[in-house]
Amino acid sequence: MPTMTQIEASILSRLVEPETPSLSLEAARSILAIEFSKEDVDRMHELLEKANSGTITPNEQDEANSYERIGHMLALLQSKARKSLKESDSAT
């Protein structure tokens, strides 16, 4: 049986339709500019190190899972943004 993360990813993928280039140029560029802050990146690395060493707490594991889900959502949106920009470039 798939995990909640897999179910959520599947639902989100169907909702966002990353293969469909339907974003305006402005929206696509704005989405591509979204990134995790340095503090968030540092925290993700810290959580990864704890997970790899076996010292991660249940609350930290939940936090790591949240970062993973949000990262996946961002990746889907940015995939759609890149597709939209590419489609726009080929149309001109």
Q: pLDDT per residue over 31-46, tens digit each?
A: 999 999 999 999 999 9
pLDDT in tens, 72-92: 899 999 999 999 999 988 876
| C-alpha distances in Å from residue 24, one per residue of 19, 83, 86, 87 | 15, 11, 11, 11
- Asked if the model's pLDDT at residue 1 lies above 50, the reply is no
User: What CATH code is assigned to 1-9+36-85?
Assistant: 1.10.287
pLDDT in tens, 12-35: 889 999 899 999 999 999 999 999
Q: What's the whole-model pTM score?
A: 0.83
The residue extents of the domains of the chain are 1-9+36-85
